[in-house]
Amino acid sequence: MHSTSLDPAIPETCVSAAVAAPSIHNTQPWSFRLDPESATFQVRAATERGLRHTDPAGRALHLSVGACLLNLRVAAAHCGWSPVRRLLPSPEDPGLLAVVRLAGAVTRRPTEHRMDLYEAIWRRHSSRLPFSGLPLPQYLRNELGEAARAEGARLWFPDPVETERQLRLTAEAERRNRIDVDRTTESSRWVHRDLQPQPDVGLPRAVLGLQDAREQLPLRDFTAQRHTERLGARPFETEPVIAVLITEHDRRADWLRAGQALQHVWLLATAHGLRASLLHQALEWPDLRRFLSPKPGRTGHAQMLIRLGYGPEGAASPRRAPRLALDGVLAPR
């Protein structure tokens, strides 16, 4: 037990870092409870913020919670605590997606990550702007691959021909999404107009709105405008770098691992000055998703398409205050 030595600022730091994670449509579908006695966080699914039409099985929700779990672990290690995590610890409580115990002081920081990725938590954001044509060096591709492997996933960088095929599958998914009334209605609900103050979940219009004038990169049309000319268009990079995140199996624990891998890769990329945005559309259509895995055999399960490159500075979408995501008591100050 470490309750006597757990500085009350630490749980706050951990939850603030956790809620800075990416989530589908910025739904932030998580909640936390801290047991100060055992210094253990419970991480739960906030299923009321799930996307019934876009994500009926909750795969994207699990990926989002996995990403927040990685941030929580990085923050705990940054504060000098060793995070011990268990995924899906209780079969009779399926909403409990993970527990993380702060298991004593770490001797050398950071323990879990070769680099302290904590600072990158606050700089990471989705960049839906054009990237420069600068190529991604091989050593960086290798490091990002290692980050994915450390979380039990695999990162595959398809060659230009395969990349084009992945983008065609994404474009087909995007076309289907735009004519699916249930999905467009659901997606539009999470986009707000230029309200002041901005709501603390969902997507402000300002972070969206651009499309690739060459129509090579099918960015998600969250507002279902359906027409490129209404969204504003600029030429994007002509040779996009796409990385495909793959897991061996496709169970709930694999989705949580994929989310942690996504965020580990994204934080490391951020620390190296890279920007990223996600192309998840083809993952939302099982018949298309199947073709995202590498040939031959198309083994493994694609979990995410990550677009990487060098681009302008940007900012993350607003978040709910950490205290609103914290269900239960914090240790008193």
Ligand X SMILES: Cc1cc2nc3c(=O)[nH]c(=O)nc-3n(C[C@H](O)[C@H](O)[C@H](O)COP(=O)(O)O)c2cc1C
- Sites of contact with ligand X (CB under 6 A): 22-26, 60, 63-64, 67, 125-126, 128, 203, 220, 277-281, 316-317
Measured distance CA(331)–CA(210) in Å, rounded: 44
Nearer of residues 102 and 126 to ligand X, judged by Cβ: 126
Nearer of residues 35 and 186 to ligand X, judged by Cβ: 186
Q: 191 near 208, Cβ under 8 Å?
A: yes
- Residue 182: CB minimum distance to ligand X, A: 17
> Residue 311, SS3?
coil
Residue nearest to ligand X (CB): 22
- Residue 256: CB minimum distance to ligand X, A: 12
- Residue 305: CB minimum distance to ligand X, A: 8
Which amino acid is residue 202, in one-letter code? G
- The DSSP-derived string for 170-181 is HHHHHHHHHH-H
Closest by CA to 224, choosing from 182, 278, 191, 188, is 188
Nearer of residues 25 and 264 to ligand X, judged by Cβ: 25
Nearer of residues 16 and 64 to ligand X, judged by Cβ: 64
- Residue 178: CB minimum distance to ligand X, A: 13
- Residue 184: CB minimum distance to ligand X, A: 14
Between the alpha carbon of residue 250 and those of residues 64, 130, 285, 293, the distances in Å are 15, 32, 15, 13
Closest by CA to 241, choosing from 263, 224, 221, 217, is 217
Nearer of residues 12 and 221 to ligand X, judged by Cβ: 221
